[in-house]
Amino acid sequence: MRLEIHLKLYGVFRSAAGSDMMSLKLPDADATVRSAIMELVSRPDCDELKKLILDGESLDPRPSTLILVSGREIGALAGLQTRLKENDEVSLLPVAHGG
């Protein structure tokens, strides 16, 4: 059974994707935030987005990305293992570093 979620992209993520909103059909009904992000960045049209979201070899999006599921930051949930439900909205916001 497939699961459809909605991605809301902000800042440079929106620019890289060419859109601020997209739907993503996940092959697994037990999808997590991690599996949704990996599905997103595996798409051929998302190479630039992959470079911006994933942290090098660790493949961890959290150092560069604030992630919310239906308005709640994943740190208050189960982190990258947060289970997704049909029509959840996953928001990806770039973390700006200054200095």
pLDDT, tens digit, 9 for 90 and up, residues 39-82: 998 988 888 988 888 877 767 887 789 999 999 999 999 999 99
Radius of gyration of the chain (CA): 13
Average pLDDT over residues 10-38: 91
Q: pTM to 2 decimals?
A: 0.88
Which tens digit of pLDDT belongs to each residue from 75-88? 999 999 999 999 99
Topology of domain 3-94 in CATH is Ubiquitin-like (UB roll) (3.10.20)
Dist CA 33 CA 66 (whole Å): 12
